[in-house]
Structure 1
Amino acid sequence: MKRTGPTNILVRKTIRALRSAAHRNNAPIWRYVAELIDRPRRLRVEVNISKINRYTKAGDVVVVPGKVLGAGSIDHPVTVAALGFSSQAVEKIRAAGGRVLHILQLLEENPRGSRVRIIV
């Protein structure tokens, strides 16, 4: 039987770590993020900076279970964690005073997942 699901080792490691943290810390937010990442690549989320700007305020922590793209602008500092970022997105988030993290880095900082928003 052929294996299904993500073949990228970093994505598989991320999914395993999220499920483990959800169980260990009783944090269902990480289980949901793991489910969203475990989808086929063509169904994975791609979010533009403009959407993050629209649905957040200064100081928010956001998880994107996919890739962040650089279309639009952002005018307040936010912490964004995702699987991947375009180079323009990284520049715009940092120029606004925000932080760019991989989901595993955010998981280490906030294992309970408190005050984290998911943008899909």
Structure 2
Amino acid sequence: MQMQNLVLVECIEMLKRAAKEHDAPIWSRVAELLARPRSRRAEVNVSKIARYASSSKSSSSNSNTSSMIIVPGKVLGSGSIEHPVTVAAFSFSNTAVKKILNAKGKVLSIDELVRMNPKGTGVRIIV
């Protein structure tokens, strides 16, 4: 008998709805990646986010210039991050949350990011 994570199922359905309602294919891609078996879902370290998230040094005082990243899986705490990044993921390790917040970044759930940015403009998927 297959067990299903109801929170995950609801998140995938919400992403599919948002993709249709806002004509934003990024959300259907994230839903597709989240629908994978747990063993194939993304596990991304903070160091990888730091590497791929653009740090805008010219206007680092403005927090609105931080990159928006979505991880269709779990964010882990290995490595370091020095610049503010907005990260949305299905789950986070405690260490990852501390490191992102210490770098003046934001930690969001996937549905919070969809509500903040329904079109998915400027959001990068990291797997």
TM-score bin (small chain): over 0.9
Aligned to 2:17: 20
Aligned to 1:85: 92
> 2:122 matched to 1:115?
yes
One-letter amino acid matched to 1:45: A
1:36 positional shift:
0.1
Query: 2:28 aligned to 6, 21, 31, which one?
Result: 31
Sequence identity (%): 53
Query: 1:43 aligned to 24, 40, 44, which one?
Result: 40
TM-score, normalised via structure 2 length: 0.89
One-letter amino acid matched to 2:125: I
Deviations 1:89-114 (A, max 9, x none): 00000000000001011011111100
Q: Secondary structure at the match of 2:17?
A: helix
> 2:29 matched to 1:9?
no
Once the two structures are superposed, the pairs formed by residues 49-64 of structure 1 within 5 Å of their partners are: 49-58=46-55, 59-64=66-71
Structure 2 CA distance for aligned equivalents of residues 113 and 55 of structure 1: 17
Deviations 1:2-45 (A, max 9, x none): 66xx7111100000000000011110000000000000011000
1:69 positional shift:
0.1
Aligned to 2:63: none
One-letter amino acid matched to 1:104: D
One-letter amino acid matched to 1:65: P
> 2:68 matched to 1:71?
no
1:57 positional shift:
1.9
Structure 2 CA distance for aligned equivalents of residues 28 and 43 of structure 1: 21
RMSD: 1.1
Flag as ranges the 4+ runs of structure 1 deviating above 6 A: none
Q: Secondary structure at the match of 1:23?
A: helix
